Amino acid sequence: MEHYDLCVIGGGPAGYAAAMRAIDLGKRTLLVERDRIGGTGIYNGALASKTLWELSQRVSSANDIVRTRGREPFRLSWEQISRTLNEALFERKYLYACHMQLLENTGGLFTHLRGHASFAGRNMITVDRAGQRIEATAEHFIIATGSRPRALPNVVVDEKRIMTSDGIFHINDLPESIVIIGAGVIGCEFATIFSNFGRTKVHLIDRADRILPFEDNDVSELVARNLERRGVVIHRNAKLERIEAMPHAIEYDLSYTDGRTERVNVEKALLSVGRIPNLENLGLEHIGLELDPITRLLTVDGTRTAQPHVHVVGDASGSNMLVNLGEMEGRHTVERIFGLQPPALSYANVSNIMFLDPEVAGVGLNEQECRKRGIPYRVARIDYACLARAIAMRRTQGFFKVLVTDDADMRIIGMRAVGEHASSAIQAVALMMQQGIGIHALVQLVHPHPSITEGVQECARMLMGNSIFKSPVFGDKMQCYRWTPSPAAEKAA
């Protein structure tokens, strides 16, 4: 029986990052994965969906040009689409496979086992695969078992006609029509993908009065407007009363807050209502751990469970289900286990990106979060139509919005970028937020010209009162104002 310094259960982004950090520290590490290394991060999550998004954006962009010239739209078959998707997945999978093989053959620190791991004692696991059982012991354990799509009690998923985000990648062809249940990030991303390809009529069910309700109105309204421009039907304030796979179609019934009801037939359905951790069948009872009876999660202090030698990271923790955060938690946990005393985990200034139309990226708080918490702020917003690079790209739909503290320091509270190159534009601001640097430093930076990031600098100049274009003149393209938790909430800065 082999003994290890660390055993990581789960080879997705969080678990893999944890194992690699342990190797950095010279620790004997066992990584156990029951299915495929890379997990959801490769096969039915970030890489897969973003590959489809990138391809769909190219199709959509080409057709925007084609239509202005009176030509027939460009169409891709699902065979062509899936070929590109599989190539991307193979490249990433091959990178992981080569990396692990070389690690296992050199140094003697890393071992990878494929199979289902479960605890058999305080420091022991068993790994079962194809009738074989391997036992191993370790000083420390990290549970990084990922997550799976959340189900609804009244929806029968067969992953063929009514699917989750796991099954959607295994379709045989682009459907003529599809209903997407859930208007959060995943639901809106798939609505964007299918509508961009131009072969599928998309219906999107939203219980709220607007999609992406966690974002500010100007963000969600722009995304919704573009979806509807591409033919997406958004059922707002709608409750799904019934959905059923009939012989001829998927049939669903909706009720609305105004009392209306509606019955719609489509070819396929996608259930997109979040994800839940994979924490079952781990033998937790053998190490004195149990799931909370209500949340079905493990209780943790940071990442540490009630058993100090067992930690949980990534999607398995039940919160912050993002690849970059899972990797951060995995690395941080290993450093904490082996005495490096890293700073406490912070989720305050983590950048995020939503692959929509247009692309949306953000860091820190938005306006509605500030108002909910009663935080006074100043904000500057500039439209892409004011930026030379956006005009040159013929991509003038979008905006930058920068929020700062309502004081002399004007420290950055948050930023939203909506449009081309959005994800690249927020990184400098994210670093400034982490360092606690005020908006004054951003004004002094010299940006390349023409570049999208010049818009971020112009927001800073507006807040400082020395912008090149004056917001009162371009009231529809530029805005600068202050909000305080008082009856006079908004007034000119």
The Cα–Cα gap between 364 and 370 comes to: 10
HSE at residue 84, side-chain half, CA atoms within 13 A, is: 14
- Helices 217-229 and 185-197, interaxial angle, to 10°? 30
Sheet holding 352-354, edge to edge: 352-354, 360-364, 412-418, 399-405, 377-383, 478-483, 490-492
Burial of residue 201 (number of CB atoms within 10 Å: 0-12, 13-18, 19+): middle
Structure tokens at 16: 């893999």
Give the distance from CA 333 to its chain's centroid.
22
The C-alpha angle with vertex 41 and arms to 427 and 205, in degrees rounded to 5, equals 85
The Cα–Cα gap between 403 and 380 comes to: 7
**pLDDT in the model for residue 488:** 54
The Cα–Cα gap between 461 and 458 comes to: 5
Question: Are domains 2-43+83-148+276-337 and 162-273 of this chain identical in fold?
Answer: yes
**pLDDT in the model for residue 487:** 66
**pLDDT in the model for residue 492:** 47
Instruction: Count the neighbouring beta carbons within 10 Å of the beta carbon of residue 234.
Output: 19
CATH T-level assignment (fold) for domain 358-492: Enolase-like; domain 1 (3.30.390)
Indicate the CATH number for domain 2-43+83-148+276-337. Answer: 3.50.50.60
Strand 310-312 relative to strand 162-163, pairing: unpaired
Local structure of 424: helix, strand or coil: helix
Local structure of 308: helix, strand or coil: coil
CATH T-level assignment (fold) for domain 162-273: FAD/NAD(P)-binding domain (3.50.50)
**pLDDT in the model for residue 444:** 81
**pLDDT in the model for residue 423:** 86
**pLDDT in the model for residue 264:** 97
**Cβ–Cβ < 8 Å for 279, 146:** no
Local structure of 7: helix, strand or coil: strand
DSSP characters for 190-258?
HHHHHHHHTS-EEEEE-SSSSSSTTS-HHHHHHHHHHHHHTT-EEETTEEEEEEEE-SSSEEEEEEETT
**Cβ–Cβ < 8 Å for 365, 387:** no
pLDDT by residue, tens only, the chain of 493 residues: 899 999 999 999 999 999 999 999 999 999 999 999 998 888 888 899 999 999 999 999 888 887 766 677 889 999 999 999 999 999 999 999 999 999 998 878 999 999 999 999 999 999 998 889 999 999 999 999 999 999 999 899 999 999 999 999 999 999 999 999 999 999 999 999 999 999 999 999 999 999 999 999 999 999 999 999 999 999 999 999 999 999 999 999 999 999 999 999 999 999 999 999 999 999 999 999 999 999 999 999 999 999 999 999 999 999 888 999 999 999 999 999 999 999 999 888 888 999 999 999 999 999 999 999 999 999 999 999 999 999 999 889 999 999 999 999 899 999 999 999 898 888 888 888 888 888 888 888 888 889 888 999 999 999 999 888 877 777 789 999 999 997 655 454 4
**pLDDT in the model for residue 82:** 95
Structure tokens at 259: 């009392």
Every domain of the chain and the residues it spans? 2-43+83-148+276-337, 162-273, 358-492
**pLDDT in the model for residue 410:** 92
**Cβ–Cβ < 8 Å for 439, 402:** yes
